[in-house]
Structure 1
Amino acid sequence: MDLKTFELLANYNLWATQKLKHALVSVSDGDFFSDQGLYFKSIFGTLNHLLVGEHYLWFPRFALQHSAILPLDHIVETNRTQLIEQLEKKAENWIHFLKQVDTNFFDQDLHYKTSTGVAMSLPYAETLMHVFNHATHHRGQITAVLTAMGYACPELDLIYMLLEENAKK
Protein backbone atom coordinates (compact mmCIF):
# COMPACT_ATOMS: atom_id res chain seq x y z
CA MET A 1 0.00 0.00 0.00
CA ASP A 2 1.23 3.43 -0.86
CA LEU A 3 0.57 7.00 0.17
CA LYS A 4 -1.48 7.75 -2.95
CA THR A 5 -3.96 5.00 -2.03
CA PHE A 6 -4.37 6.38 1.48
CA GLU A 7 -4.80 9.91 0.16
CA LEU A 8 -7.56 8.64 -2.12
CA LEU A 9 -9.27 6.90 0.80
CA ALA A 10 -8.99 9.97 3.04
CA ASN A 11 -10.52 12.15 0.32
CA TYR A 12 -13.25 9.57 -0.23
CA ASN A 13 -13.94 9.44 3.51
CA LEU A 14 -14.48 13.22 3.59
CA TRP A 15 -16.56 13.20 0.39
CA ALA A 16 -18.81 10.36 1.62
CA THR A 17 -19.22 12.01 5.02
CA GLN A 18 -20.31 15.23 3.32
CA LYS A 19 -22.79 13.38 1.10
CA LEU A 20 -24.23 11.54 4.09
CA LYS A 21 -24.46 14.83 6.02
CA HIS A 22 -26.69 16.30 3.31
CA ALA A 23 -28.92 13.21 3.31
CA LEU A 24 -29.36 13.31 7.08
CA VAL A 25 -30.80 16.83 7.06
CA SER A 26 -34.25 15.52 6.07
CA VAL A 27 -34.34 12.74 8.67
CA SER A 28 -36.78 13.35 11.52
CA ASP A 29 -35.48 13.34 15.08
CA GLY A 30 -37.63 10.29 15.77
CA ASP A 31 -35.97 8.33 12.97
CA PHE A 32 -32.51 9.70 13.76
CA PHE A 33 -32.56 8.71 17.42
CA SER A 34 -34.73 5.56 17.38
CA ASP A 35 -33.40 2.02 17.57
CA GLN A 36 -33.21 0.76 14.00
CA GLY A 37 -31.59 -2.57 14.81
CA LEU A 38 -28.06 -1.40 14.01
CA TYR A 39 -25.13 -2.65 16.06
CA PHE A 40 -25.02 0.77 17.73
CA LYS A 41 -28.83 0.87 17.66
CA SER A 42 -29.67 4.15 15.90
CA ILE A 43 -28.29 6.44 13.23
CA PHE A 44 -27.28 8.69 16.13
CA GLY A 45 -25.50 5.84 17.95
CA THR A 46 -23.71 4.73 14.79
CA LEU A 47 -22.51 8.26 14.01
CA ASN A 48 -21.26 8.65 17.59
CA HIS A 49 -19.44 5.35 17.20
CA LEU A 50 -17.80 6.66 14.03
CA LEU A 51 -16.74 9.81 15.87
CA VAL A 52 -15.30 7.80 18.77
CA GLY A 53 -13.63 5.13 16.66
CA GLU A 54 -12.25 7.19 13.83
CA HIS A 55 -11.41 10.42 15.61
CA TYR A 56 -11.02 9.78 19.33
CA LEU A 57 -9.30 6.39 19.09
CA TRP A 58 -7.72 5.73 15.69
CA PHE A 59 -6.61 9.22 14.69
CA PRO A 60 -4.70 9.84 17.93
CA ARG A 61 -3.14 6.38 17.70
CA PHE A 62 -1.67 7.27 14.32
CA ALA A 63 -0.98 10.97 14.83
CA LEU A 64 -0.01 11.06 18.52
CA GLN A 65 0.96 7.41 19.21
CA HIS A 66 -1.63 7.18 22.00
CA SER A 67 -5.36 7.50 22.48
CA ALA A 68 -7.98 7.68 25.16
CA ILE A 69 -9.53 4.57 26.64
CA LEU A 70 -13.17 4.91 25.58
CA PRO A 71 -15.94 2.37 25.06
CA LEU A 72 -16.90 2.03 21.42
CA ASP A 73 -20.46 3.12 22.19
CA HIS A 74 -19.42 6.21 24.16
CA ILE A 75 -21.61 9.23 23.40
CA VAL A 76 -19.30 12.12 22.55
CA GLU A 77 -21.89 14.51 21.16
CA THR A 78 -25.62 14.61 21.90
CA ASN A 79 -26.54 17.38 19.46
CA ARG A 80 -27.19 15.82 16.05
CA THR A 81 -26.08 18.88 14.06
CA GLN A 82 -22.85 19.23 15.99
CA LEU A 83 -22.23 15.48 15.76
CA ILE A 84 -22.44 15.51 11.98
CA GLU A 85 -20.38 18.72 11.76
CA GLN A 86 -17.65 17.16 13.92
CA LEU A 87 -17.53 14.07 11.72
CA GLU A 88 -17.10 16.22 8.64
CA LYS A 89 -14.53 18.56 10.16
CA LYS A 90 -12.48 15.78 11.72
CA ALA A 91 -12.46 13.80 8.44
CA GLU A 92 -10.23 16.58 7.12
CA ASN A 93 -7.64 15.67 9.77
CA TRP A 94 -6.79 12.47 7.89
CA ILE A 95 -6.02 14.45 4.74
CA HIS A 96 -3.68 16.76 6.66
CA PHE A 97 -2.11 13.85 8.53
CA LEU A 98 -1.26 12.05 5.29
CA LYS A 99 0.50 15.14 3.94
CA GLN A 100 3.10 14.80 6.68
CA VAL A 101 3.11 11.07 7.48
CA ASP A 102 6.43 9.24 7.35
CA THR A 103 5.71 6.49 4.81
CA ASN A 104 8.41 4.34 6.39
CA PHE A 105 5.80 3.56 9.05
CA PHE A 106 3.72 1.76 6.39
CA ASP A 107 6.08 -1.22 6.67
CA GLN A 108 6.11 -1.26 10.46
CA ASP A 109 3.67 -2.11 13.21
CA LEU A 110 1.35 0.29 14.96
CA HIS A 111 1.53 -0.14 18.73
CA TYR A 112 -1.51 1.06 20.66
CA LYS A 113 -3.96 0.25 23.41
CA THR A 114 -7.46 -0.92 22.54
CA SER A 115 -10.61 0.81 23.72
CA THR A 116 -10.43 -1.43 26.79
CA GLY A 117 -6.74 -0.71 27.47
CA VAL A 118 -5.21 -3.91 26.07
CA ALA A 119 -1.79 -3.46 24.43
CA MET A 120 -1.92 -4.28 20.73
CA SER A 121 0.43 -4.34 17.78
CA LEU A 122 -0.80 -4.63 14.19
CA PRO A 123 0.63 -3.79 10.76
CA TYR A 124 0.51 -0.01 10.33
CA ALA A 125 -0.68 0.25 6.72
CA GLU A 126 -3.28 -2.48 7.02
CA THR A 127 -4.62 -0.94 10.22
CA LEU A 128 -4.84 2.47 8.55
CA MET A 129 -6.77 0.77 5.75
CA HIS A 130 -9.12 -0.62 8.40
CA VAL A 131 -9.97 2.90 9.59
CA PHE A 132 -11.29 3.93 6.18
CA ASN A 133 -12.99 0.59 5.57
CA HIS A 134 -14.66 0.81 8.99
CA ALA A 135 -16.18 4.20 8.15
CA THR A 136 -17.45 2.85 4.83
CA HIS A 137 -19.04 -0.11 6.60
CA HIS A 138 -20.98 2.06 9.05
CA ARG A 139 -22.04 4.59 6.42
CA GLY A 140 -23.42 1.62 4.50
CA GLN A 141 -25.44 0.56 7.54
CA ILE A 142 -26.85 4.05 7.87
CA THR A 143 -27.79 4.34 4.21
CA ALA A 144 -29.48 0.93 4.33
CA VAL A 145 -31.60 2.10 7.27
CA LEU A 146 -32.39 5.39 5.52
CA THR A 147 -33.51 3.51 2.42
CA ALA A 148 -35.66 1.14 4.49
CA MET A 149 -37.32 4.13 6.16
CA GLY A 150 -38.07 5.70 2.77
CA TYR A 151 -35.52 8.51 2.79
CA ALA A 152 -33.54 9.50 -0.29
CA CYS A 153 -29.96 8.31 -0.04
CA PRO A 154 -26.87 9.50 -1.80
CA GLU A 155 -24.83 7.07 -3.85
CA LEU A 156 -21.70 6.66 -1.73
CA ASP A 157 -19.69 4.27 -3.88
CA LEU A 158 -16.14 5.46 -4.48
CA ILE A 159 -16.74 5.38 -8.22
CA TYR A 160 -19.23 8.26 -7.87
CA MET A 161 -16.60 10.44 -6.26
CA LEU A 162 -14.24 9.61 -9.11
CA LEU A 163 -16.95 10.45 -11.64
CA GLU A 164 -17.59 13.80 -9.94
CA GLU A 165 -13.89 14.60 -9.95
CA ASN A 166 -13.56 13.59 -13.59
CA ALA A 167 -16.51 15.82 -14.56
CA LYS A 168 -14.73 18.82 -13.00
CA LYS A 169 -11.72 18.38 -15.29
Structure 2
Amino acid sequence: MIDHYRRQAYCNLWSNHRLLGACAGLSQNEFMAERTSFFPSIWQTLNHIHIVDAFYIDALEGGTLGLAAFDDETPYDSVTGLLPAQRKLDRRLLQFCEALDPARLGTGVILQRTDRQQNEPAHRVLSHLFVHQTHHRGQVHAMLAGTTVAPPQLDEFWLVDESSLRRDEFESLGISERQVWYADEPTDSSAL
Protein backbone atom coordinates (compact mmCIF):
# COMPACT_ATOMS: atom_id res chain seq x y z
CA MET A 1 0.00 0.00 0.00
CA ILE A 2 2.90 2.39 0.59
CA ASP A 3 3.84 2.29 -3.09
CA HIS A 4 0.20 2.79 -4.02
CA TYR A 5 -0.08 5.93 -1.87
CA ARG A 6 3.23 7.24 -3.25
CA ARG A 7 1.96 6.78 -6.78
CA GLN A 8 -1.36 8.40 -5.94
CA ALA A 9 0.56 11.43 -4.66
CA TYR A 10 2.53 11.61 -7.90
CA CYS A 11 -0.69 11.25 -9.89
CA ASN A 12 -2.23 14.05 -7.83
CA LEU A 13 0.76 16.32 -8.56
CA TRP A 14 0.57 15.56 -12.29
CA SER A 15 -3.23 15.79 -12.52
CA ASN A 16 -3.33 19.15 -10.78
CA HIS A 17 -0.50 20.36 -13.01
CA ARG A 18 -2.39 19.36 -16.13
CA LEU A 19 -5.81 20.60 -14.95
CA LEU A 20 -4.60 23.95 -13.59
CA GLY A 21 -2.46 24.39 -16.69
CA ALA A 22 -5.61 24.09 -18.80
CA CYS A 23 -7.52 26.43 -16.49
CA ALA A 24 -4.75 29.01 -16.90
CA GLY A 25 -6.01 29.43 -20.47
CA LEU A 26 -9.41 30.64 -19.28
CA SER A 27 -10.36 34.27 -19.23
CA GLN A 28 -11.10 35.62 -15.74
CA ASN A 29 -14.80 35.70 -16.64
CA GLU A 30 -14.77 32.04 -17.70
CA PHE A 31 -12.83 31.07 -14.57
CA MET A 32 -15.40 32.68 -12.27
CA ALA A 33 -18.56 32.14 -14.32
CA GLU A 34 -21.47 30.33 -12.71
CA ARG A 35 -21.80 26.76 -13.96
CA THR A 36 -23.67 23.60 -13.07
CA SER A 37 -21.80 21.55 -10.48
CA PHE A 38 -21.60 20.97 -6.73
CA PHE A 39 -19.64 24.22 -6.37
CA PRO A 40 -21.10 26.57 -8.98
CA SER A 41 -17.85 27.65 -10.69
CA ILE A 42 -14.43 26.43 -11.68
CA TRP A 43 -13.02 29.10 -9.36
CA GLN A 44 -14.93 27.86 -6.31
CA THR A 45 -14.25 24.18 -7.03
CA LEU A 46 -10.49 24.62 -7.41
CA ASN A 47 -10.39 26.70 -4.22
CA HIS A 48 -12.35 23.96 -2.43
CA ILE A 49 -9.81 21.35 -3.53
CA HIS A 50 -7.04 23.58 -2.23
CA ILE A 51 -8.48 24.32 1.21
CA VAL A 52 -9.52 20.72 1.84
CA ASP A 53 -6.06 19.54 0.77
CA ALA A 54 -4.56 22.05 3.22
CA PHE A 55 -6.80 20.73 6.01
CA TYR A 56 -5.96 17.06 5.47
CA ILE A 57 -2.27 17.45 4.63
CA ASP A 58 -1.71 19.58 7.72
CA ALA A 59 -3.50 16.97 9.85
CA LEU A 60 -1.43 14.15 8.32
CA GLU A 61 1.72 16.12 9.19
CA GLY A 62 0.49 16.55 12.78
CA GLY A 63 -0.14 20.26 12.35
CA THR A 64 -2.65 22.49 14.06
CA LEU A 65 -4.35 24.29 11.15
CA GLY A 66 -7.65 22.54 11.85
CA LEU A 67 -10.83 24.41 10.99
CA ALA A 68 -8.87 27.59 10.21
CA ALA A 69 -8.33 25.99 6.79
CA PHE A 70 -11.95 26.89 6.05
CA ASP A 71 -11.81 30.55 7.19
CA ASP A 72 -11.69 31.74 3.57
CA GLU A 73 -13.54 29.48 1.14
CA THR A 74 -12.04 31.20 -1.92
CA PRO A 75 -8.54 32.41 -1.03
CA TYR A 76 -7.43 32.64 -4.68
CA ASP A 77 -9.16 34.80 -7.28
CA SER A 78 -7.03 33.58 -10.18
CA VAL A 79 -5.28 30.49 -11.47
CA THR A 80 -2.07 32.51 -11.35
CA GLY A 81 -2.28 32.63 -7.54
CA LEU A 82 -3.82 29.20 -7.09
CA LEU A 83 -1.37 27.20 -9.19
CA PRO A 84 1.78 27.76 -7.08
CA ALA A 85 -0.18 27.37 -3.84
CA GLN A 86 -1.67 24.06 -5.00
CA ARG A 87 1.73 22.90 -6.26
CA LYS A 88 3.19 23.57 -2.81
CA LEU A 89 0.47 21.45 -1.17
CA ASP A 90 0.94 18.71 -3.76
CA ARG A 91 4.67 18.62 -2.96
CA ARG A 92 3.95 18.41 0.78
CA LEU A 93 1.61 15.48 0.19
CA LEU A 94 4.20 13.80 -1.99
CA GLN A 95 6.86 14.33 0.67
CA PHE A 96 4.55 12.81 3.29
CA CYS A 97 3.88 9.77 1.10
CA GLU A 98 7.56 9.35 0.23
CA ALA A 99 8.30 9.08 3.97
CA LEU A 100 5.57 6.50 4.68
CA ASP A 101 6.35 3.28 6.48
CA PRO A 102 3.96 0.64 7.84
CA ALA A 103 3.85 2.18 11.31
CA ARG A 104 3.04 5.63 9.96
CA LEU A 105 0.20 4.27 7.83
CA GLY A 106 -1.56 3.09 10.98
CA THR A 107 -0.82 6.18 13.04
CA GLY A 108 -3.84 8.13 14.22
CA VAL A 109 -4.51 11.47 12.57
CA ILE A 110 -6.56 14.03 14.50
CA LEU A 111 -9.16 15.77 12.33
CA GLN A 112 -10.79 18.74 14.02
CA ARG A 113 -14.48 18.99 13.18
CA THR A 114 -16.92 21.66 14.31
CA ASP A 115 -18.43 19.50 17.03
CA ARG A 116 -15.78 16.85 17.68
CA GLN A 117 -12.34 15.48 16.96
CA GLN A 118 -11.94 12.44 14.77
CA ASN A 119 -8.99 10.10 15.19
CA GLU A 120 -8.50 8.24 11.92
CA PRO A 121 -5.64 6.01 10.75
CA ALA A 122 -3.40 7.79 8.24
CA HIS A 123 -4.16 5.23 5.52
CA ARG A 124 -7.88 6.06 5.71
CA VAL A 125 -7.24 9.79 5.60
CA LEU A 126 -5.00 9.33 2.55
CA SER A 127 -7.57 7.17 0.78
CA HIS A 128 -10.28 9.74 1.45
CA LEU A 129 -8.06 12.63 0.35
CA PHE A 130 -7.24 11.01 -2.99
CA VAL A 131 -10.90 10.23 -3.67
CA HIS A 132 -11.90 13.78 -2.73
CA GLN A 133 -9.34 15.28 -5.10
CA THR A 134 -10.33 13.02 -7.99
CA HIS A 135 -14.03 13.69 -7.42
CA HIS A 136 -13.69 17.46 -7.60
CA ARG A 137 -11.10 17.47 -10.40
CA GLY A 138 -13.69 15.54 -12.42
CA GLN A 139 -16.20 18.31 -11.78
CA VAL A 140 -13.76 20.95 -13.00
CA HIS A 141 -13.01 18.78 -16.02
CA ALA A 142 -16.73 18.64 -16.87
CA MET A 143 -17.16 22.39 -16.36
CA LEU A 144 -14.23 23.08 -18.70
CA ALA A 145 -16.24 21.43 -21.48
CA GLY A 146 -18.47 24.51 -21.45
CA THR A 147 -15.58 26.94 -21.96
CA THR A 148 -13.20 27.90 -24.76
CA VAL A 149 -10.53 25.63 -23.21
CA ALA A 150 -10.69 21.91 -23.92
CA PRO A 151 -10.64 19.69 -20.82
CA PRO A 152 -7.26 17.98 -20.53
CA GLN A 153 -6.87 14.23 -20.56
CA LEU A 154 -6.40 13.15 -16.94
CA ASP A 155 -6.18 9.37 -17.26
CA GLU A 156 -2.82 8.95 -18.98
CA PHE A 157 -0.92 8.50 -15.74
CA TRP A 158 -1.04 4.77 -15.16
CA LEU A 159 -0.29 2.97 -18.42
CA VAL A 160 3.30 2.24 -19.45
CA ASP A 161 2.48 2.59 -23.14
CA GLU A 162 1.27 6.17 -22.55
CA SER A 163 4.44 7.41 -20.87
CA SER A 164 5.33 9.52 -23.92
CA LEU A 165 2.08 11.46 -23.41
CA ARG A 166 3.23 12.74 -20.02
CA ARG A 167 7.02 12.86 -20.51
CA ASP A 168 7.29 16.63 -21.02
CA GLU A 169 5.01 17.36 -18.07
CA PHE A 170 6.92 14.96 -15.82
CA GLU A 171 10.11 16.71 -16.86
CA SER A 172 8.66 20.15 -16.08
CA LEU A 173 7.64 18.81 -12.64
CA GLY A 174 11.13 17.40 -12.06
CA ILE A 175 9.96 13.79 -11.85
CA SER A 176 10.56 10.72 -13.99
CA GLU A 177 8.88 7.44 -14.82
CA ARG A 178 11.65 5.62 -12.96
CA GLN A 179 11.11 7.73 -9.84
CA VAL A 180 7.34 7.25 -9.86
CA TRP A 181 7.04 3.62 -10.87
CA TYR A 182 10.30 1.89 -10.12
CA ALA A 183 11.73 3.50 -7.01
CA ASP A 184 11.96 0.14 -5.21
CA GLU A 185 11.86 -2.28 -8.13
CA PRO A 186 14.42 -3.51 -10.62
CA THR A 187 13.45 -2.28 -14.06
CA ASP A 188 13.73 -3.26 -17.64
CA SER A 189 14.75 0.00 -19.28
CA SER A 190 12.82 -0.88 -22.45
CA ALA A 191 9.60 -0.43 -20.42
CA LEU A 192 10.53 3.18 -19.63
Q: TM-score, normalised by structure 1?
A: 0.85
**Structure 1 residues without counterparts, runs of 5 or longer:** none
Letter in 2 for 1:156: L
Query: Are the aligned partners of 1:52 and 1:74 in contact in 2 as well (CA < 8 Å)?
Result: yes
From 92, 116, 119, give the equivalent of 1:118: 116
Identify the residue that residue 94 of structure 1 maps to in structure 2.
93
Query: Are the aligned partners of 1:20 and 1:154 in contact in 2 as well (CA < 8 Å)?
Result: yes
Identify the residue that residue 81 of structure 1 maps to in structure 2.
80
Query: Are the aligned partners of 2:33 and 2:41 in contact in 1 as well (CA < 8 Å)?
Result: yes
Identify the residue that residue 6 of structure 1 maps to in structure 2.
5
Query: Are the aligned partners of 1:51 and 1:76 in contact in 2 as well (CA < 8 Å)?
Result: no
Letter in 2 for 1:162: W
Structure 1 residues 60 and 77: alpha-carbon distance in aligned structure 2, compared to 1, 3 A threshold = same
| Separation (CA, whole Å) in 2 of partners of 1:23 and 1:62 | 29
RMSD across aligned positions (CA) = 2.2
| Separation (CA, whole Å) in 2 of partners of 1:66 and 1:89 | 18
Q: TM-score, normalised by structure 2?
A: 0.76
Aligned residues: 164
Structure 1 vs Structure 2: percent identity of aligned residues?
25
Q: CA deviation at 1:99?
A: 2.3
Identify the residue that residue 35 of structure 1 maps to in structure 2.
34
Letter in 1 for 2:58: P
**Structure 2 residues without counterparts, runs of 5 or longer:** 168-191
Identify the residue that residue 149 of structure 1 maps to in structure 2.
147
Letter in 2 for 1:84: L
Whether 1:49 and 2:45 are equivalent positions in the alignment is: no
User: Partner of 2:10: helix, strand, or coil?
Assistant: helix
